[in-house]
Amino acid sequence: MSDRLLADWQAHALNLESEINKVVVGQESPVRLITTAIFARGHVLLEGDVGVGKTTLLRAFTRGIGGGYQRIEGTIDLMPNDLVYHTYLGEDGRPHVSPGPLLSEGENLAVFFFNEINRARPQVHSLLLRVMAERTLSAFNKEHQFPHMLVFADRNQVEKEETFEIPSAARDRFMMEIPIVVPSDADVMESLMFDTRFHNVDALVERVPGGILQFDQLNEFAALVQDKVQASPALRRYALNLWLATKTPGQYGIQIGGVDINRLVIAGASPRGMAMMLRAARVNAWLNGRDAVLPEDIHAVFHETVAHRLVFSPVYEMRRTEIARELLSGIVNAISVP
């Protein structure tokens, strides 16, 4: 019975991916990773340029899974309450209060997109992190629940002025950080420029058939995937070695040009991080029609689930993206595959 369910949902998930890939072009890898996060029930950091289709991508996913979508812009003067309610003067000349983006969809909130999260102040980050962890919020004398919400937060990495970087403890709560960059294929670039289909986000998103999946069944189904996809003892040892290597890469013979490897890492991946990596790897195995995790499932999500959790010595933080890439591929090459 559960095997049938796993196979049916795999077909739906692959159908969702292919419909999304029709409207957001040249982003197959982020689409696969977001699908993985949705089925692993993990929040996502997006690292991307401006105008690369992040909003389109998230709205298209929400249309495919159903449920509500909300977006908020991070600004320096955003206050935590701006996520919870708006006040305005009504036509009757009296003040009114209406629910803000976190509350307006009620329990149906499926995707909450926080654009440019690092422009918002730490008080706003801490409210969001609490909601992400607890999936509840007290407001208007009531406890509000968000059982189906996934948060997608974009960090603007282009401009650094007047930004508040989210601290490592906060980054650790996100399952993945997914880069979204301009597609490099010339044909895709040309169609993004000339094909008017891509110029109207509302019309584009409408092309995704609604309700391919049911957002309010995802938690239950995700638990089934985690339960059914197995990890062999050899795979477990392999994953453990990868984890140890993130803490002391020097002991595994990893070298990176211009970096004193023994001083690079202040903190390797956390237990929460490695648990999230395994959740994502299990989903990747299921998406590929398997009932056991292979090393290639770990490789498919290793960088995106681990890189944002590593804390480097301050001297190396400026080159963080490049060093993390080299370090993690060095680890994958150094640890022998079972």
Ligand X SMILES: Nc1ncnc2c1ncn2[C@@H]1O[C@H](COP(=O)(O)OP(=O)(O)OP(=O)(O)O)[C@@H](O)[C@H]1O
User: Which residues contact ligand X (rule: CB under 6 A)?
Assistant: 24-27, 50-56, 115, 183, 192, 198-199, 201, 204
Nearest distance, CB of residue 215 and ligand X, angstroms: 20
Q: Which is nearer to ligand X, 64 or 183 (CB)?
A: 183
Place of tokens 């990773």: 33
CB 178 within 8 A of CB 308: no
Sign of the CA dihedral with 316 first, then 54, 43, and 70 last? positive
Q: Which is nearer to ligand X, 26 or 330 (CB)?
A: 26
Q: Which is nearer to ligand X, 56 or 270 (CB)?
A: 56
Q: Which two tokens stand for residue 135?
A: 């999936």
Nearest distance, CB of residue 193 and ligand X, angstroms: 10
Nearest distance, CB of residue 55 and ligand X, angstroms: 3
Q: Which is nearer to ligand X, 25 or 264 (CB)?
A: 25
Give CA torsion, residues 159, 160, 162, 166, to 10 deg.
Answer: 120
Nearest distance, CB of residue 67 and ligand X, angstroms: 19
Alpha helices per DSSP H over 41-71: 54-65
Q: Which is nearer to ligand X, 27 or 270 (CB)?
A: 27
Nearest distance, CB of residue 49 and ligand X, angstroms: 7
Nearest distance, CB of residue 203 and ligand X, angstroms: 9
CB 68 within 8 A of CB 105: yes
Q: What is the DSSP string of 240-269?
A: HHHHHHHH-GGGGT---TT--HHHHEEE--
Beta bridge partners of 139: 142
Q: Which is nearer to ligand X, 51 or 147 (CB)?
A: 51
> Could you give the C-alpha distances from 264 to 46, 167, 239, 303, 333, in angstroms and in order?
25, 18, 21, 17, 18
Place of tokens 């197995």: 230
